[in-house]
Structure 1
Amino acid sequence: MSLDKKQEQAEGLPFLGDASAKSNNGKPPKEKPHKDIRCGFWIFKGSMLQRLATEKLFVVIYGIGGCFLSMSLAYFNGTITTLEKRYKIPTKMSGMIIVGNDISMMITSVLAGYYIHKGHRARWIGFGFFTIFIFCLLTCSLHFIYGAGEDALKLTRQYGDFKNISEYLTTAHKEQKLCMTKESGCVQQDGTWVPPLVLFVGQFVAGIGISLFWTVGIAYMDDNTSKDKTPALLSISAFLRMLGPAIGYSLASVCLRWYIEPNLEPLIKPGDPRWLGAWWLGWLILAVITFIIAFFMFMFPKELPSANARRLELEATGMQDPKEHKDLSISDLLRSIKRLAANKVYMYNTFATSFYLFGYLAYWIFTPKYIETQYRQSASMATMATGTLALGFSAVGVLLSGYIVSKYKPSARAMAAWNATVDFLTVAGILLYVVIGCEGSDQLSSMAISDSCSTSCHCEYVHYAPICSPDNVTYISACHAGCTGSSKTPLGRTMFTGCACLHPTNTTSGSEFQYALDGACPVDCTRQFIVFLVVMCFLKLVGATSKSTNLLISLRCIEPEDKSFALGLGGLIGSLTAFIPGPIFFGWLLDKYCLVWGKTCSNKGNCWLYDTHSLRYAFNLTSGFFILLGGLLNIGVWYHAKDLLIFDEEQKETDKSDGKADSFNLTSKFQVVKVSKETEEL
């Protein structure tokens, strides 16, 4: 017995050397693939682990890993408004922070897709998950460096050792800035540039992991699974990934219900715009889980045993050339780009996806903020609605499309037509968003800003501390309302008097009779919010059904040798045209309609109040325009995809034949691949 055979039997692996030699007319195999199919690394090896190197288990681990990867991104989006309030970050800067992962993806995707295919791809995927672990630690480190912040601590019972809320209000209203004859000093904020920088670096590191997950992970799954299982495995993996955003937003909702310092007792409720939730708790949970996923991914071999056996048999029968790993040059890279640029289906589909993503990223990132500003919901409620409810419909859409594609095997043209239909339906839903406004929210935004009356009170650097007038109009602060005095009501609320800048309707003339109470006026947007949720859930369901069909077209329309590189180039194009400019543009658009800034000495801080009516029109119509362009390009995909093959039609007859060996099935499949260069394995 040879040494190789003894070693493989000791590890519980089938000995492939003799079989491959016999099937190759007695000639020795050209390579020893058994060295690449051993499961485990370092001291984590053994015969027990070898049984785990299966296609199904990889898809499950890969899908779960994708779930937590997307979960971390969704968690960041769900807590972004809290981060803006805590660290005085404008929305435009938030958009620039978010594109950090897209910049690194742009750099990594092409290089990874072109060069890593000859390395140990499973371990590269594991390294990608380790970068997500670093991203989680970097993000939550801000809380341990800067703490909750004085603004948040002032709103707790323990601050100043107050015994009850009445005592706090008695002292707090004295600190409330009233109408001042002299200009107040600006608000000092320590290290205002450090938190955005740390958040950007964390996003940049995360982008490396995302790129490796997509470009290397999909190619590894593609090469190590049989073509018959493609739609089902793709659907399972996508379904597990789709659970990530829903769980991520739900985790954000739960964490934001806790005060930023859970061991302190807040004096305000979560519905108060000044509420800061415990945004940092979720990152600790995500860090632990992503580290475990990275460890398991390192366990998988360079090539799964089942895929290795299929490849050796095909090489032995001459149906597939042996794999050759050669150094790839710049000229090879340019030739691959030229081939893909001449592929009309690939280019139309790629740019259709880019336009769709540019428009839809606005909702993916800023939906919680949109719900908070338009429908006056708490940060916890906004993230819960965006995650658990809406993205649950996305998961159903992915499973439904996977089932339909697997069962009915639609043509490439049918898939492209459906993708275009989804885009047009999305535009129709966005037009409904425009008309789903809340009158109370619009009134709050339009009347909260006093006219030139408050300019003489020097309120530029006054903290956001809303008060409510008898006419149910919310003002930014007592200073902006021109109030000159304050007192405490029998119920413990602070009443501000002498408010000269209130809009008089039925009030008696004379500022001494104009008063307001602390806290924002109640606004009921529940009905409009529910209607918005219904439309959003429908769009999530419909939009998710095009994910599998879009990816199938992308992979089937390219040459086998360009598969990994095409995924990387698609990531590059998506980053340049959508993922990088999209968040920055829509962040700028949101800031453009800001009415109240929380200014500090170093910057204008975060936005406290928006012009909701104008913002609703600008935000939705702009998004709808770009998604419409994507739909028009999908018509081009439909036109050029008439000869594109998605499935092996001959495989149906092969599956029905009796007594056929698996090698015949594989041979038949690869014959179709060799005849039609446009048909690609997934």
Structure 2
Amino acid sequence: MESNHRKISSKTNHKRTYDVRLTEDTTCGIWFLKGPWLQRFANKKAYVFLYGLLGCVFSAAYAYFNGTITTLEKRFKIPSRTTGIITVGNDLSQLFVSVILSYYAGRGHRPRWMALGMYTVVLFCLLTALPHFLCGAGSDALTLTVEYRTHDRNSTIDALDRVQKKALCHRKNSTTSDCEMEGGNYSPQLILFIAQFISGIGGSLYYTLGVSYMDDNIKKSKTPALFSFSYFIRMLGPAVGYGLASFCLKLYISPSLTPTIDNNDPRWLGAWWLGWIILAIVIFIFASLLALFPKTLPRAAVRKELLKKQISKVNEKFEPEPELPTSFKDMLVTFKRLIYNPTLMLNNFAAIFYFLGYMPYWIFLPKYIETQYRQSASASSLITGSAGLVFSAIGILLSGLIISKYKPRARYLAAWNVIVGAISVLGIVSYAYLGCAENDNRAPLLPNGELNPVTECNSHCFCDYVKYNPVCSQDGTTTFISACHAGCRQSRKINGTEIFSDCSCILTNQTYLVDFNHTFHEGGFATPGNCSVDCLSKFYIFLIVVCLLKFSGATGRASNFLVTVRCVEEKDKPVAMGFGLMLMSLCAFVPSPILFGIILDKACLVWGKTCTGNGNCWLYNGKTLRYTMNFTAATFVLIGTLFDAGVWFFVKGLKIFDEEIELELEDLAS
């Protein structure tokens, strides 16, 4: 009887502890949105699911930006190095605020701080769409619509004739330099940079606070599985983002107008702005729901109290270390403690070099597929989002379940990261040898590496400001920058297809003269678009390698996360995440897009010319781009793998799971 009475009394005490915490830090809701109907959602499953969903839409926003990069570059005449600088904006803000925010917000109400950060991402989405509403669809897109041709027909016929004649070969002294002014407008680029800068605040709060809140409120043995599940949901984001980009880019930039070209035409501009409105609405809804979670989940609060009592039994003199109030001095002490942690620093350096190597594939992969395998912008975005998704999902879920079930030691987890790094290096190197045969006009290169489009056969033409509009020779072997560069003097439609004729650069059995003062005999003809290239086999191999790297990389996510959060004290987890994010922003996220943007621009063969200089790049040297980009990335990943080997050396003895901690307590008690 006495024993049963003690059990009931013990349960009552636990219930009282639970009730006290429920009134303080474990109540679900905010302001007037409180009550028992919300409290039922104050559990780890609801948090993990919502955190994953929010991360899914958040990562979809960045994937959507990457999927629409080429369209943005065409619309606003932006070179790749400028695009790289724009994408660096969010990393700069993370560099400045991630550590400070993670320190102060990590000791506050983390779900509400995360929600506040997500509201800045909503602002990022709206600002990114703003240039379209300020600048419109642009003259390039409007001239390629039925409405432009039919509206005020008398006044536009002459303009259309001038455009058509300008695209053909004509005398140098027959026209003035008709350059484009849009390339000199820097306001859209500035707005895009500001939008990216604002988004970095939300990103730093989401990543640093979200995983630390999860780890603090979940049993250590269940962390790998639940982390993998949330990461799996978040991993769907790129597929959603690229799929949304593919859908929006199939619509014309001004959906109310009827284009005269299809989306396979290189001049096509899709409705890049539409997806940002959709993403802003969804993120706002999910962020508002996240703000309703309590500061600490109820069961986690009870579990912490029981752990403190267990430690007190082992060591009767044990007194919990008092938590120092947030201050600048305490923040510096915390940073010093993190810097002198060899496991954490080596793990951070490994992540820095991994991100340096992988950033170009996250940002420029749609462009890479477009330039290397001749896919449309819409298809490239769809392929980028879908390729490897199944393998990534299997990898992250499988690794989380295996780690939760078998509970491997820290050294095994670190060793697997070394193996994943080695596989990544080999896969990236193979990218350099998976390219298509060139069939572009092999004109001589200028000293700066650009293509010299002026040859003997078109030297009599004035093509300086002719827009990029590729045509294919009649034999299907050579692609020219435009009909003008092919030396074509006439155009006519046959069965609805435009045919360019009298092309002096396309050889036929007939002779031709290149001097306008003499009789010109008819040359060859050309058709619009690039010549077809049989590149499917290498493209499929490329996708297989991408899937393999997606799978192997996903299996290392959970182990890398566990090493990071276990090698520091529990109170330092949010700051450690923010500190790592600051280092990665400074050393990887900021320089990598700029570096690889310069590499892309160096491989450019044909620039769109504007009155202020060069606009966006229209044609790349595929072989140069493959070798330079992939070998540079592989070198960075190799260095990261060496740092992971250092983590393997220092991680010996690190406790990962609750069972290991409990065994250590039992040994101390005995």
Q: Do these two structures clear the TM 0.5 threshold for a shared fold by scoring above it?
A: yes
Q: Is the 8 A contact 2:483 2:526 kept in 1?
A: no
1:17, 1:290 → 2: CA distance?
Answer: 42
Tell me by how many angstroms 1:346 deviates: 1.3
Aligned position for 2:590: 580
Deviation, 1:176, is: 2.5
Deviation at 1:455, TM superposition (A): 5.9
3-state SS of the aligned residue for 2:582?
helix
Alpha-carbon spacing, 1:224–1:75, altered in 2? closer, same or farther (3 Å):
same
Q: Distance in 1 between matches of 2:439 and 2:567?
A: 49
What's 1:487 paired with? 491
Structure-2 change in CA distance of 1:220 and 1:170 (3 Å): same
Q: Given that residues 607 and 617 in structure 2 are in contact (C-alpha distance below 8 angstroms), is that contact kept between their aligned partners in structure 1?
A: yes
Question: Residue in 2 aligned with 1:609?
Answer: 619
> How far apart are 1:498 and its partner, in Å?
4.6
* Letter paired with 1:481: A
C-alpha deviation, 1:601, in angstroms: 1.8
**1:560-639 mapped onto 2 (5 Å cutoff):** 560-639=570-649
Map 1:345-356 onto structure 2 (within 5 A): 345-356=343-354
Question: The residue matched to 1:271 in structure 2 has which SS?
Answer: coil
Distance across 1 between alignment mates of 2:475 and 2:460: 23
Whole-angstrom CA distance in 2 between matches of 1:444 and 1:225:
61
- Asked if 1:147 is matched to 2:156, the reply is no
Does the alignment pair 1:46 with 2:35? yes
User: Could you say which residue in structure 1 is the equivalent of 2:25?
Assistant: 36
Indicate how the Cα distance of structure 1 residues 279 and 444 shifts in structure 2: closer, same or farther if over 3 A, else same: farther
Does residue 128 (structure 1) correspond to residue 127 (structure 2)? The answer is: no
Please give the per-residue CA displacement for 1:159-189, whole angstroms capped at 9, x wherever unaligned.
221899xx99988633525334145132121
Aligned equivalent of 2:13: 19
Would the alpha carbon gap of residues 215 and 446 (structure 1) be closer, same or farther in structure 2, given more than 3 Å must change? farther
Write out per-residue CA displacement over residues 541-562 of structure 1, whole angstroms, 9 at most, x where no aligned residue. 1111111111111111122232
**Matching residue of 1:510:** 513
Deviates more, 1:273-282 or 1:205-214: 273-282
Q: Verify the 8 A CA contact 1:375 1:441 in the aligned structure 2.
A: no
For the pair 1:178 / 2:169, whether they are aligned, the reply is yes
Q: Given the alignment, which residue of 478, 496, 506 partners 2:483?
A: 478
Once residues 62 and 670 of structure 1 are traced to their aligned partners in structure 2, the CA distance between those partners, rounded to angstroms, is 33
What is the CA distance between 1:508 and its match in structure 2?
3.5
Percent same amino acid among aligned pairs? 47
In structure 1, distance between residues paired with 2:375 and 2:667? 54
- Give the alignment of 1:338-417 within 5 angstroms: 338-417=336-415
Deviation at 1:48, TM superposition (A): 1.0
Alignment CA distance shift 1:373-1:321 (3 Å): farther
34-43 vs 562-571, which moves further: 34-43
Return closer, same or farther for 1:317/1:424 CA change in 2, 3 Å cut-off. closer
Alpha-carbon distance between aligned partners in 2 of 1:674 and 1:117, rounded to the nearest angstrom: 32
How far the C-alpha of 1:393 sits from its partner, in A, is: 2.0
Report the equivalent of 1:11: none
Question: Is contact 1:253–1:383 with CA below 8 Å preserved after alignment?
Answer: yes
- Please give the per-residue CA displacement for 1:359-402, whole angstroms capped at 9, x wherever unaligned: 01111111100000011001111111110222332222111111
**Unmatched runs of 5 consecutive residues or more in structure 1:** 1-15, 652-667, 676-682
Residue 469 (str. 1) matches residue 462 (str. 2):
no
1:610-638 Cα deviation digits (max 9, x unpaired): 11111111111111111111111111111
Which residue of the partner structure matches residue 281 of structure 2? 288
Q: Measure, in 1, the Cα distance between the counterparts of 2:250 and 2:274.
A: 11
| Cα distance in 2 for residues equivalent to 1:672 and 1:321 | 18
- Give the equivalent residue in structure 2 for 1:521: 530
Q: Is the 1:17–1:32 contact (alpha carbons within 8 Å) kept by the matching residues of 2? A: no
Structure 1 position 609, deviation (Å):
0.5
Q: Using the alignment, how far apart are the partners of 2:197 and 2:231 within structure 1? A: 24
* 3-state SS of paired residue (1:160): helix
Q: 1:190 to 1:446 in 2, by over 3 A?
A: closer
User: Is the 2:183–2:610 Cα contact (8 Å) retained in structure 1?
Assistant: no
Q: 1:538 deviation in Å?
A: 1.1
* Residues 597 and 606 in structure 1, CA contact (< 8 A), matched pair in contact too: yes
Query: More displaced, 403-412 or 74-83?
Result: 403-412
Are the counterparts in 1 of residues 486 and 506 from structure 2 also a CA contact under 8 Å? no
Report the counterpart of residue 148 of structure 2 in structure 1: 159
Match in the other structure for 1:424 = 422
Q: Give deviations 1:30-58, integer Å, cap 9, x for gaps.
A: x9662222211122222211111111111
Partner residue, 2:57: 68
Q: Is 1:217 the counterpart of 2:226 in the alignment?
A: no
Q: Secondary structure at the match of 1:604?
A: strand
Shift, 1:445, TM fit: 8.9
1:227 aligns with 2:220: yes
> Which position in structure 1 is the counterpart of 2:556?
546
* Number of the residue aligned with 2:47: 58
User: In the alignment, what sits opposite 1:80?
Assistant: 69
TM-superposed CA distance for 1:463, in Å, is 1.3
**Which residue of the partner structure matches residue 9 of structure 1?**
none
Structure 2 CA distance for aligned equivalents of residues 53 and 457 of structure 1: 72
Given that 1:105 and 1:575 are in contact with CA atoms closer than 8 Å, whether structure 2 keeps it comes out as yes
C-alpha separation between the residues in 1 aligned to 2:272 and 2:420?
Answer: 35
Distance 1:646 1:443, change over 3 A: farther
Which residue of structure 2 aligns with residue 334 of structure 1? 332
Give 1:468's aligned amino acid: C
Where does 1:184-263 land on structure 2 (aligned, <5 Å)?
184-189=177-182, 192-263=185-256
- State which drifts further: 124-133 or 410-419: 410-419
How much has 1:199 moved relative to structure 2? 0.9
Q: Name the CA shift for 1:603/1:197 in 2 (closer, same or farther; >3 Å).
A: farther
One-letter amino acid matched to 2:332: L
Residues 669 and 103 (structure 1 numbering): CA distance in 2 closer, same or farther, change over 3 Å?
Answer: farther
Matched, 1:460 2:469: no
How far off is 1:316 after superposition?
5.4
Quote the offset at 1:575 in angstroms.
0.6
Instruction: Give the paired residue count.
Output: 635
One-letter amino acid of the structure 1 residue matched with residue 239 of structure 2 = A
Residue pair 1:475, 1:520 contacting (<8 A) in 2 also: no
Query: How far is 1:195 from its partner?
Result: 0.9
Q: What per-residue deviation string (whole Å, max 9, x for no partner) do you get for residues 328-357 of structure 1?
A: 344333332332222222111111111011
Instruction: Tell me which residue corresponds to 1:450.
Output: 453
Root-mean-square deviation (CA, aligned residues, Å) is 3.0
Distance (Å, rounded) in 2 between the aligned partners of 1:673 and 1:151? 75
Distance 1:506 1:628, change over 3 A: farther
Q: Is the 8 A contact 2:177 2:465 kept in 1?
A: yes
- The correspondence for 2:82, drawn from 87, 93, 103, is 93
* Aligned CA distance change for structure 1 residues 323 and 269 (closer, same or farther; 3 Å): farther
Q: How many angstroms apart in 2 are the aligned matches of 1:354 and 1:121?
A: 26
Q: Is the alpha carbon distance of 1:392 and 1:290 closer, same or farther for their aligned partners in structure 2, counting shifts above 3 Å?
A: same
**1:519-539: CA deviation from partner (whole Å, max 9, x where unpaired):** 123323222221211111111
Check conservation: 1:431, 1:621, Cα contact below 8 A: yes
The worse-fitting range, judged by mean Cα deviation, of 207-216 and 432-441 is 432-441
Structure 2 distance, partners of 1:282, 1:532, is 28
Write the distance in 1 (CA, Å) between the matches of 2:144 and 2:580. Answer: 48
Equivalent position of 1:4 in the other structure:
none
Unpaired segments ≥5 residues, structure 2? 1-9, 313-317, 446-450, 515-520
Choose which of 78, 84, 97 in structure 2 pairs with 1:108.
Answer: 97
Partner of residue 6, structure 2: none
Q: Would you say the 8 A contact 1:23–1:316 is kept in 2?
A: no
Read off the aligned partner of 1:289 and give its amino acid letter.
Answer: V
Deviates further, 197-206 or 521-530: 521-530
Whether the 8 Å CA contact 1:184–1:458 is kept in 2: the answer is: no
